[in-house]
Amino acid sequence: MKPTFGQRLDTVTRNSLPVLLTLLLVLLNVIPLHIPGLSRVMPVLPLMAVYHWAIYRPQLMPPLAVFLIGACYDVLSGTPLGVNALVFLIVYGVVVFQQRFFVGKSFVVVWLGFGLMALGASVVSWILVSILAVAVVEPKAVFFQFILNFSFFPLLAWLFLYFQNAYLKLE
């Protein structure tokens, strides 16, 4: 039997959830909080989403969406255009390549994996921004941002797992 329009719309909406949640995190990340220096160390929430969805539902977070999310984040955060787009794509590619390693592992393994990816992403971002600025950017902020990324991941992972279990049907 052919699915109705409502069923197709429901499927499209559910399958768009990872991309929409990640775009929401982009917006949350760039809301001005008027706390001096916070924007330099604010955790990169969309990076956590890219990592999670690359492990558990890469088919719902295609590389083009990852690139566009990164570019959107670059534009809204004031980062040189292409830095986060490239970093997100690198993280996505590495995680998808190693997906079989992560699936079925304990949360601690997934969290430590994120820690390694976040550290690598921070270093690559720092190098790219330094090259594009033609000056060495202060590395202390990168370190604190990594610590916040690592610390915030469990909270967001729980949120992603909730949405995944509640709204995304197994295929």
Q: What is the mean pLDDT of residues 36-55?
A: 90
| 36 falls within a domain | no
In a domain, 52, yes or no: yes
Q: Is residue 12 part of a domain?
A: no
Q: Is residue 113 part of a domain?
A: yes
| CA 54/CA 33 separation, integer angstroms | 30
CB 86 within 8 A of CB 67: no
**Taking the CB of residue 8, how many other CB atoms lie within 10 A of it?**
11
Averaged pLDDT, 50-66: 97
Mean pLDDT on 80-92: 97
pLDDT digits (tens, 9 = 90+) for 6-24: 888 888 888 999 999 999 9
In a domain, 10, yes or no: no
Q: How far apart are the first and last CA of the chain?
A: 18
Range of the domain at 160: 18-29+41-167
State how far the Cα of 116 lies from the Cα of 25, in Å rounded to an integer: 21
Domain total of the chain: 1
pLDDT of residue 33: 81
Of the candidate ranges 25-29, 73-77, 140-144, the one whose mean pLDDT is the lowest: 140-144
- pLDDT tens-digit profile of 133-155? 999 988 998 899 999 999 999 99
pLDDT at 169: 66
Q: How far apart are CA 65 and CA 16, in angstroms?
A: 10
Report the pLDDT value the prediction gives residue 159, as an integer from 0 to 100: 94
Q: Is 82 contained in some domain?
A: yes
- Model confidence at 170, pLDDT cuts 50, 70, 90, reads low
pTM: 0.92
Residue 3 lies inside a defined structural domain of this protein: no
2 in a structural domain: no
Check pLDDT > 70 for residue 171.
no
Distance CA 103, CA 19 (A): 20
| Among candidate residues 28, 40, 63, 9, the one with its CA nearest the CA of residue 159 | 28
Spatial contact of 128 and 87, defined as CB atoms under 8 Å apart: yes
Least confident of 21-25, 31-35, 58-62, 111-115: 31-35
